[in-house]
Amino acid sequence: MALNEEQTAVANSVDSHNLVIALPGSGKTHTMISFIANLVKKPQAKILGLTFTNAAAVEMKARVGKSIKGEDRKRIFISTFHSIIIQMVKKHPELAGRERLIGPAENRYNYFIFKSMCSSYNTNCEPRDESVKPFTEKEQKGLYAMTLNIVKNRLLSLNAEYCAESKRFKSVMGFDYFDFYCDKMQELNVWPLDLMCNVVTKMLIAGKIEPINCTALVVDEFQDTDDTQYQWIKAHGKNGTLITVVGDDDQAIYSWRNSLGMEGVERFKKDFNPNYYTLSMCYRCPPEILLSAEQVVIQNSNRVPKSMNTLDTSGDIYLLATTDEMNELSYMLSGMRKHHLESRAILTRTNQQLDEIEAFLKIENIPYKRLNGTPIWQNENLLFWVHLLYTVVEARDSKYLKSILVELHEDQHVILDIIAKSKGVGFTHIDDDEMSWSDVTVALHEQCRLSGNKGGERNDIEVEKLLNILHDEFQPIVSKPKAEFFDTFKKIVLGMKHQLILRITGIIELSEMRQIKELDDDVVILTTFHGAKGLEWDVVWIAGANEDKLPLINKKIDPSTINYEEERRLLYVAMTRAKLSLYISWYSIAEPSNFLLEAFPEQMAEVIETSRKNEEAKQEQEEVDLDGAA
For CA atoms 290, 295, 298, 300, the dihedral sign is negative
Residue 486 carries which side chain, given as an amino acid letter?
F
Nearest to 200 by CA among 286, 94, 116: 94
State which amino acid sits at residue 350. Answer: T
Residues 6+ apart with CB under 8 A from 596: 296, 319, 545, 550, 584, 586, 604
Do residues 201 and 225 lie in contact, with contact meaning Cβ atoms separated by under 8 Å? no
Please report the DSSP string for 81-137 in residue order. HHHHHHHHHHT-HHHHTSEEE-THHHHHHHHHHHHHHHHHS-TTPPPSSTTSPPPPH
For residues 85 and 267, what is the distance between their CA atoms, to the nearest angstrom? 22
Task: Return all residues near 200 (Cβ < 8 A) that are at least 6 apart.
Answer: 85, 88, 89, 95, 209, 232
CB 10 within 8 A of CB 35: yes
Inter-residue contact 336 to 526 (CB < 8 Å): no
Task: Calculate the alpha carbon distances from 264 to 24, 238, 304 in Å.
Answer: 19, 16, 12
Amino acid at residue number 199: V
The CA distances from residue 617 to 323, 614, 620, in Å, are 13, 5, 5
| 441 within 8 A of 408, measured Cβ to Cβ | yes
CB 150 within 8 A of CB 113: no
d(CA 65, CA 33): 10
311 alpha carbon, distance to own chain's centre: 33
Detail the residues annotated as belonging to a binding site: 22-29
In angstroms, what CA-CA distances link 449 with 385, 391, 395, 428, 499? 18, 11, 7, 5, 19
Which H/E stretch holds residue 605? helix 601-629
Strand partners, 541: 346, 583
Q: Please enumerate in sequence order all residues whose Cβ is within 8 A of that of 162, keeping only pairs 6 or more positions apart, or say none.
A: 170
Q: Do 372 and 526 meet the contact criterion of CB atoms below 8 Å apart?
A: yes
**Exposed/middle/buried for residue 104 (C-beta within 10 Å: 0-12, 13-18, 19+):** buried
Task: Specify whether the CB–CB gap between 529 and 571 falls below 8 A.
Answer: yes
CA dihedral sign, ordered 309, 313, 314, 317: negative
**Which of 81, 18, 11, 39 is closest to 268 using CA atoms?**
18
| Residue 429: C-alpha distances to residues 398, 421, 422, 439, 449 (Å) | 11, 9, 7, 18, 9
Write out the binding residues for ATP: 22-29
